[in-house]
């Protein structure tokens, strides 16, 4: 009988040593581990705060999620008086995990401003796959937690439907609704009693977040699951509609797209009202796809994938004029920076040079506002 405890101890020790060696190996080799998500939080879905990630998609990148669960520099809840704080809310474009956190367009803007004696603090709240509903939710929470002078909604072309089709998102994702009396509320959001397991679970989570091996395993499992779904013929309706001329802006707009577009307008209007009530400027920043900044390849885009060049930007610009929203379109700056070959500023998303050009554009727009020469400011 004495041999049993001894054998159990040997097995446990061997297992622990094996796991330690595997953990060290994953770290040293730098295998991709993805970024671990947290589906329930006061910010809505986010990444696990202060956790490491390793990605190998558009560009190999190792980094760390910041203290509030986003790919950005550490977020300071209190900033010095006289510092102009800008919050950027968007999807994978704002998340910008293909470049180092210090090289994202938000931080290029911040660094340029501070180097020239204009104290600015930029904070990025980006999460892949989210749409206007979820970005509004994050913004409302952010404005409750800290002071903002300006809020920028970073719009990319999939935003009408991405994050709007509820059946394709986890049940915890927030969606803006109106009750019978017309009051606004969010469905599917963080509820304190659902995340209050505390105790052992909370302590275990805080330990595991710094380990690479669990992330390595979960990342491989998620890739396998996605591969199986794709092989079974699954494709998100939002992705299909985005590819099938989502932004036909005329009378031929399909019913589902028209509903999504109408809902998007209502979300943006609600967002503007919330910012106005908090004394915060609200801005929409349009991010063009590569085809809009590439003179040499736009003509070669298949007809079924093509949208009127700059038509969406003009449509959103007109909407912003009607609603009194400041609108920024960096398309000309991106085209000019590469003399008509703006695709070179992208991988799938903006690359390092693309972020540098966009950050510089934002700083120049900021300077114009400071000088009182921005007609929309």
Mean per-residue pLDDT for 132-139? 97
More confidently predicted of 146 and 11: 146
Q: Which residue has the tokens 């020239």?
A: 116
pTM for the full model?
0.91
Mean per-residue pLDDT for 161-181? 88
The span from the CA of 326 to the CA of 262, in Å, is 20
Q: Domain 72-203+235-371's class? A: alpha beta
Percent of all residues in the chain with a pLDDT value above 70, rounded to a whole number:
86
Mean per-residue pLDDT for 188-201? 60
Mean per-residue pLDDT for 84-101? 97
What is the per-residue pLDDT for 55?
A: 95
Give the confidence band of 135 by pLDDT, cuts at 50, 70, 90.
very high
Q: Per-residue pLDDT for 97 more than 90?
A: yes
| 163 φψ region: left (φ > 0), alpha (ψ -120 to 50), beta (else) | left
Long-range pairs for 228-237: beta carbons < 8 A, 24 or more residues apart: 236/165, 236/168, 237/161, 237/165, 237/168
The span from the CA of 71 to the CA of 35, in Å, is 10
Query: Which tens digit of pLDDT belongs to each residue from 324-362?
Result: 999 999 999 999 999 888 999 999 999 999 999 999 999
DSSP letter string over 304-321?
Answer: GG---TTHHHHHHHHHHH
Indicate the domain borders of the chain: 72-203+235-371
More confidently predicted of 109 and 310: 109
CA 185 to chain centre: 22
User: 127 Cβ partners below 8 Å, 6+ apart?
Assistant: 45, 46, 47, 70, 91, 92, 95, 134, 138
The span from the CA of 101 to the CA of 105, in Å, is 9
Average pLDDT for the chain = 87
The kind and range of the H/E element at 268 are helix 255-277
The span from the CA of 52 to the CA of 44, in Å, is 20
What is the per-residue pLDDT for 299?
A: 52
Mean per-residue pLDDT for 173-185? 94
What is the per-residue pLDDT for 230?
A: 80
Classified as helix, coil or strand, 123 is strand
Least confident stretch, 40-54, 158-172, 196-210: 196-210
Q: Checking DSSP bridges between strand 37-38 and strand 46-47, what pairing results, if any?
A: antiparallel
Go through the chain and tell me how many residues it has.
Answer: 377
The span from the CA of 211 to the CA of 163, in Å, is 30
Query: Which tens digit of pLDDT belongs to each residue from 217-246?
Result: 999 998 898 888 888 877 665 555 554 444
Cβ atoms 52, 212 nearer than 8 A: yes
User: 1 Cβ partners below 8 Å, 6+ apart?
Assistant: none
The span from the CA of 71 to the CA of 97, in Å, is 7
What is the per-residue pLDDT for 163?
A: 78
What is the per-residue pLDDT for 300?
A: 52
Residue 69 sits at the vertex; the CA angle it makes with 67 and 75, to the nearest 5 degrees, is: 40
């Amino acid at each position: 009988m004495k041999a049993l405890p001894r054998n159990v101890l040997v097995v446990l020790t061997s297992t622990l040593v094996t796991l330690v060696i595997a953990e060290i190996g994953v770290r040293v080799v730098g295998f991709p581990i993805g970024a671990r998500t947290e589906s329930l939080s006061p910010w809505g879905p986010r990444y696990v705060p202060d956790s490491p990630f390793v990605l190998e998609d558009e560009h190999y990148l190792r980094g760390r999620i910041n203290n509030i669960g986003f790919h950005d520099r550490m977020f300071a809840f209190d900033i010095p008086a006289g510092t102009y704080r800008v919050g950027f809310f968007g999807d994978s474009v704002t998340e910008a995990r293909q470049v180092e956190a210090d090289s994202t367009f938000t931080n290029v803007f911040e660094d340029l401003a501070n180097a020239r004696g204009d104290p600015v603090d930029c904070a990025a709240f980006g999460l892949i796959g989210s749409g206007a509903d979820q970005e509004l939710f994050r913004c409302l929470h952010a404005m409750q937690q800290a002071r903002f002078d300006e809020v920028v909604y970073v719009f990319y072309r999939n935003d009408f439907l991405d994050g709007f089709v509820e059946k394709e998102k986890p049940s915890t994702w927030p969606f803006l609704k109106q009750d019978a009396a017309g009051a606004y509320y969010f469905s599917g959001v963080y509820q304190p009693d659902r995340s209050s397991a505390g105790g052992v679970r909370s302590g275990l989570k805080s330990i595991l977040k710094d380990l690479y091996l669990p992330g390595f395993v979960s990342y491989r499992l998620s890739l396998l699951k996605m591969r199986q779904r794709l092989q079974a013929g699954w494709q998100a309706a939002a992705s299909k509609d985005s590819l099938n001329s989502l932004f036909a802006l005329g009378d031929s707009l399909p019913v589902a797209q028209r509903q999504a577009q109408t809902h998007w307008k209502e979300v943006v209007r609600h967002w503007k009202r919330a910012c106005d009530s908090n004394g915060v400027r609200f801005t929409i920043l349009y991010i063009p796809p590569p085809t809009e900044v590439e003179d040499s390849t736009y003509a070669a885009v298949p007809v079924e994938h093509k949208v009127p060049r700059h038509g969406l930007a003009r449509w959103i610009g007109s909407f912003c004029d009607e609603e009194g929203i400041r609108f920024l379109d960096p398309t000309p700056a991106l085209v000019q920076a590469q003399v008509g070959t703006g695709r070179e500023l992208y991988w799938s998303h903006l690359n390092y040079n693309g972020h540098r050009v966009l950050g510089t554009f934002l700083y120049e727009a900021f300077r114009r506002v400071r000088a009182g020469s921005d007609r929309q400011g």
